[in-house]
Amino acid sequence: MKRCVIPVVVLLVLLGALTACTEEKKPEPDGAEDFAQKENCSVHFIDSGKADAILVMADGEAMLIDAGYRENADRVVAYLKAQGVSQLKYLVLSHGDKDHVGGMAAVLKNFAVERLLISPKKENSGEYNAMLKAANASSVSVGVPQIGDSFQLGKGSFTVLAPGQKALAEGSDNDASLVLQYGYGNRSFLFMGDALSTTEKEIRDNKLVKVCDVLKVGHHGKNDATKKKFVKAVAPVYAVITCGEAVGDDEDGTPDSDVLEVLEELKVRVLRTDEKGTLVFDTDGTDLTVRK
C-alpha cells in the first residue's frame, strides 16, 4: 500500500505547482491598480484637440471638468476607465460650447456621477440638452454654484471664482465659464474654462484668487484672454493650453502668438496638448511633477 501512496502525493504536489505557475495576474489598466487607495493628487489634461476634458483625481475621488467634443466622447470615456475611474464625485461643465459640453452625455451614461455643476448661463443646443436628459435619467443632482462656494475633493478643495455679474451681463458664452481653483496641500491649479479678459479682471477685483502652480489658459490660448496683468497676479509656474484640431466649423484651435509672448515674457513654462499630448501633473501636496 505504501508504494501506491507516494506517487499520488507527488502527483498532487506537481499539479499544484503547475497551477501556481500558470495562474498569472491579469494586468490592470494604467493607473487603475489601486486608485481607491491612493493618497495623492493627479490632474490630467486629456488630449482631445481644441477642447477641454480635465480629470482631477485625489485620494480615491474623481472630478471631470468638461468632456470635449461629442465626436471625441469615446476617447474621454476610455481614458477615464483606463485610470480606474468608475464614479465621479463632481462632473463640471464650465460653459455650454460644443468643445466643452459635447461629451457630457456620454460621461453621464458611462459613470456614476454624484453631482453635476453647471454655469448659470443656460444653452439650447443638442449637446447641452442631451447632457440634461442624461442627468435626469440618472437622477444626478444638478447645481449652479456661486462665487466663493467651496467643495471638497479628497484632501483638497476647489473654490468657484467666476462668472461674475459683469461677465454674465455681457452675454458671452465664454465669459460665462465657471472658473475653479483647486488646492491640494501647498499646490494649486487654476482652471479658466474659456473665460475672457472681463472675467480675469473680475477675478482680480474679488481677491479670492491665489497664486497657482498650474494655469489652464482660458479660451485655448486666444488673445481675448490671458492678459499680462492677470498672469502676473496668479504667477503660475506652468501654463497648459488645450489646443489642436477643431471639429467641424468650430474656430481655429491654434493659440495666438501674443498670448505665447506674454507667457514667455513672464517666464511661465508653456505646455500645449497639440505638441505634448495628454499631460498629467502629480503632487503629494508638496512636490509637483509633470509627465506625458
Q: Where are the domains of the chain?
A: 31-285
Average pLDDT of span 109-119: 98
Q: What is the CATH number of domain 31-285?
A: 3.60.15.10
In this predicted model, what pLDDT tens digit does every residue of 186-210 receive, in sequence order? Answer: 999 999 999 999 999 999 999 889 9
Look at the block and give the residue holding cell 489652464. 216
Residue 292 and residue 176: Cα distance in Å, rounded? 31
**Residue, of 31 and 186, whose pLDDT is higher:** 186
Residue 31 pLDDT more than 70? no
pLDDT of residue 10: 37
pLDDT of residue 197: 96
Task: Yes or no: say if 193 and 66 are a contact pair by the CB < 8 Å rule.
Answer: yes
Question: Facing residues of 157 across strands?
Answer: 152, 183
Residue 228 DSSP one-character state:
H
Quote the distance between the C-alpha of residue 99 and its chain's center: 14
